[in-house]
Amino acid sequence: MLLHAVREPGPTPRPKVDRFLDVVQAQLAQLAPQRASVALLVAEIDWGRALEDIYGFEGVALLEHEVTRRCGSVLRSRDPFGTIGSSQLGFFVPRIDLITALRLGERLRQAVGREPFEMHFGPADVTVTVGAIVATANSVDAEELIASARVCVNAAKQTGRNCTLARAMPVRKSKPRDNDTEPMLATGS
């Protein structure tokens, strides 16, 4: 189910983000009775603004299209993905655990960075940083899942670019305590 198209000039169109949110929310609702584990991965193109300075907006849009194509080749055809922000792709994967989410994030990262993209303006080296959040379908909504995955990708970028970080979303029944920790796995290039 391909939900991504090359972005238009300007900010990411809200209808495209909303459509992805709607698909994720529908899948969460479908999986909630089973209490299935789900993951949302965010792949953010590293140094997006610098790439825009080098290749221009249209060049980055072409690069995003190629990044999407490579990432799509790693996923199952039934796993929805879409644009969720500037230089950010979101991937929803049902029935997946933390270790498998980390491995999938690594496969996405490696698929993008394995070789330069051959563009009309010449070869372009592009990498992505991937953040993955794993949760139970009945404990989260689509917006919370995406927001948590964005926090995860930002945490990964703090350790360096071109890496993957996966976290499990804690299930809270009460106010969090200072010593609460969440399971986390990370890889790097």
So what's the pLDDT on residue 121?
82
Band (61; pLDDT cuts 50, 70, 90): confident
Could you tell me the two tokens for 166? Answer: 């996966």
Band (57; pLDDT cuts 50, 70, 90): confident
Q: How many CA atoms lie within 13 A of 22 on its CB side?
A: 7
Domain, as residue range, for 43: 14-188
CATH number at 183 reads: 3.30.70.270
Instruction: Say if 9 falls within a structural domain.
Output: no
Is the per-residue pLDDT at 180 higher than 60? no
So what's the pLDDT on residue 6?
34
* Mean pLDDT of the chain, nearest integer: 85
Q: Provide Rg for the chain, Cα atoms.
A: 16
Q: How many domains does the chain have?
A: 1
So what's the pLDDT on residue 11?
46
Mean pLDDT computed over 57-81: 90
Instruction: Say if 3 falls within a structural domain.
Output: no
Instruction: Say if 8 falls within a structural domain.
Output: no
So what's the pLDDT on residue 185?
65
Is the per-residue pLDDT at 14 higher than 90? no
List the beta bridge partners of residue 132: 41, 166
Q: Please, are residues 93 and 101 in contact by the beta-carbon 8 Å criterion?
A: yes
Instruction: Say if 167 falls within a structural domain.
Output: yes
Instruction: Say if 107 falls within a structural domain.
Output: yes
Instruction: Say if 164 falls within a structural domain.
Output: yes
So what's the pLDDT on residue 7?
34
Mean pLDDT computed over 169-173: 69
Could you tell me the two tokens for 17? Answer: 């983000």
DSSP letter string, 105-129: HHHHHHHHHSS-EEETTEEE---EE
Band (164; pLDDT cuts 50, 70, 90): very high
So what's the pLDDT on residue 83?
86
Instruction: Say if 4 falls within a structural domain.
Output: no
What is the four-CA torsion angle of 14, 20, 26, 32, rounded to 10 degrees? -120
Q: Please, are residues 34 and 50 in contact by the beta-carbon 8 Å criterion?
A: no
- In tens, the pLDDT along 140-150 reads 999 999 999 99
- In tens, the pLDDT along 86-133 reads 889 999 999 999 999 999 999 999 999 999 999 888 899 999 999 999
Amino acid of residue 72: G
Instruction: Say if 86 falls within a structural domain.
Output: yes
